[in-house]
Structure 1
Amino acid sequence: MRRLAFLVIFGLGGGAILISLGIWQVQRLAWKEGVIADIESRIAATPVALPETPEPARDAYLPVEVTGVLGARHLRVLVSQKQIGAGYRIIRPMLRDEGAIMIDMGFVPVAEADALKFDEGPAVTLVGNLQWPQETDGFTPAPDMKENIWFARDVGAMARVLETNPVLVVRRDAPQSGSPVTPMPVDTAAIPNDHLQYAITWFSLSAIWLAMTAVFLRRKPGANKS
């Protein structure tokens, strides 16, 4: 009887814990889907004027319309595009009376990057979304300043090099006529949402756990004895 009671408590208790973890992941899934839906709605909203003092906590993903002169300098951030391969995000300064900012112009393949030359032209108006990407960590290589290759969009560091405010607008409108730079608009693809897989894993483990418990309970004492 003691053995039976132990198996019941251990088996059902373990199964209940695994099922509760699966339910928690389902709840987290609903929460994450709500967060993503809210961000997507914010990204696609009608553009507004750039705030006087943009703040990451308040203004991330905010769609804005900005007007200014694009500077001749540019930075290249190494990225990869599906079905295209390696390339660079092109970051240019935009000179404005209210203060210079940075524009993420979009993507250009590696083979076309060296031929890129920009001139300071007339004022242009661009539409994009404010973003402060969290792409750097302790393993991110330092930028190769000689080759003008960056390995992440470090807003603060790029702003110091381009002599702008630490404000980045990721362009979302169509590419300029004749330009090889294709916009890479802000989206939610990079936001992790693995809660469904986690829920399936926990529920699968609970099913296996309970099945094994049932097997042990059905075994007769001494069944393995010769």
Structure 2
Amino acid sequence: MRLSPRLFSLKMIIATLLAALGIAGFMSLGFWQVNRLHWKLDLIDRVDARIHADPVAAPGPADWAGITAEKDEYTRVTLKGAFLADQDILIYTPSDFGPGDWVLTPFQRDDGTIVMVNRGVVPDNLARAGAYTHVTGPTEITGLLRRSEDQGWLFSRDNDPENGKWYRRDIGSITAAKGFANAAPYFVDQELTDPTGWPRGGKTVVSFRNAHLSYALTWFALAGVVLLGYALVLRLEFKRDT
């Protein structure tokens, strides 16, 4: 059977190009989600291993420049020194207890450097009244190393250092506003020390949404739909020719 010229018409050329672009595009998105799936699984395994490992000394100034999320975030660390308890920063956050605030307190290490420590969450009305525990004197804490939240989310509010209003844990801005010249570029989420008092530590989110497999299957399914649709178009053209 000789192929009809209709199969080589402008309409079929356009349909073929659109089908090829659709299939290639959806397949690319599917493979991208597969790569993201492997990345997310690796992240989950890495974080799980770190949060259950024995703590190590928090990085000092010589190591600050080399800190990365992949290598260091969520590592359990210890700090020795003392809180500068009169220089708390309250950062507004929704919480399990309603509107709340993270209490970030400068921690001066024995070597004189400053590390901001997120002591935990306090209900907003108590936080604003200062009705939470203040720790003074030499102490040692354990927590998870966290990277500075330099970038806001889509609907997040910007920090307002001039008026003392903070909405994310942007360590660079906070330490600059406090005038700390020798401050670490990270902060530490302190572990839970008092399950009934305030601040309530141990609130680090260490579970990560992982829907990449379903996204990948969706993109591959759409590529299959385009391929099936193109096959049906070809079948109709063949039928017209017979």
Please give the range of the TM-score, normalised by the shorter of the 2 chains: 0.7 to 0.9
- Alignment equivalent of 2:174, drawn from 154, 158, 161: 158
What is the 5 A alignment of 1:125-164? 125-137=140-152, 140-143=157-160, 145-146=162-163, 148-164=164-180
Q: CA deviation at 1:15?
A: 6.1
The 3 A distance-change label for structure 1 pair 134 and 196 is: farther
Superposition RMSD on alpha carbons, in Å? 3.2
- What corresponds to 2:99 in structure 1? 86
Task: Find the aligned partners of 1:103 and 1:63 in 2 and give their Cα distance.
Answer: 13
1:74–1:145 CA distance, 2 compared to 1 (3 A) = farther
Tell me the residue number matched to 1:114: 128
Q: CA deviation at 1:77?
A: 0.8
Segments of 5+ residues of structure 1 without an aligned counterpart are none
Q: How many residues align?
A: 219
Q: Partners in 2 of 1:24 and 1:87 — Cα distance?
A: 38
Q: Structure 2: any 5+ residue segments left out of the alignment? A: none
Secondary structure (helix, strand or coil) at the match of 1:131 reads strand
More helix by share: 2
Worse-superposed segment, 48-57 or 150-159: 48-57
Q: Secondary structure at the match of 1:141?
A: coil
1:204 positional shift: 2.6
TM-score where L is the length of structure 2: 0.74
Distance (whole Å) between structure 2 residues aligned to residue 102 and residue 85 of structure 1: 24
Whether the 8 Å contact between 2:55 and 2:142 is mirrored in structure 1 is: yes
TM superposition outliers: structure 1 runs of 4+ over 3 Å: 1-16, 117-120, 137-140, 161-164, 184-189, 191-194, 220-223
Counterpart contact for 2:83–2:135, Cα < 8 Å = yes
For residue 89 of structure 2, what is the aligned residue in structure 1? 75
2 CA distance for matches of 1:96 and 1:10? 64
Identity of matched residues, %: 26
SS of 1:42's equivalent? helix
TM-score by length of 1: 0.78
